[in-house]
Amino acid sequence: MIERLELGPKSHLEKGTKFRVKDGPYWVTDSGEQIPMRARGVMQFNFAFVRGSCVFIDADSDVDGHVVLHYRGRRKNKLMGDKLVCRPYTIAGRVTGRKRRKPPVKG
């Protein structure tokens, strides 16, 4: 179990850190359309763990509840074949308490 996950040289996640994700797994239909199957909303980091060559993040989401996110490494779903693409999540950024300023309205 990893209590502090290093994302880069200046960024990390530790218990209670809020963050957003992008990318994630998707389903490919017979017509070639991609349907996203990703977790949504603001996540709160609990811990990370390693299974084989993959790194997973255990988090709580305000939309989906408890989630386990595939963060790093390659994995393949043998049951679904080529229909389910197991793309790892990317951390989109940490969530701070600051609100974004709206641009001034022209007119």
Note the pLDDT tens digit of each residue in 5-23: 998 888 899 999 999 999 9
d(CA 99, CA 102): 9
| CA-to-CA separations, 46 to 3, 41, 70, 85, in angstroms, rounded | 8, 16, 14, 26
Amino acid letter at 42? V
Instruction: Quote the pLDDT of residue 75.
Output: 82
pLDDT tens-digit map of 47-92: 999 999 999 999 999 888 999 999 999 887 777 778 888 899 999 8
With a CB cutoff of 8 Å and minimum separation 6, the contacts of 35 are 26, 27, 28, 29
Q: How far is CA 24 from CA 17, 29, 37, 104, in A?
A: 20, 16, 7, 35
| pTM strictly above 0.85 | no
CA angle, corner 89, sides to 46 and 91, nearest 5? 65
Q: Show Cβ contacts of residue 80 under 8 Å, excluding neighbours closer than 6 positions.
A: none
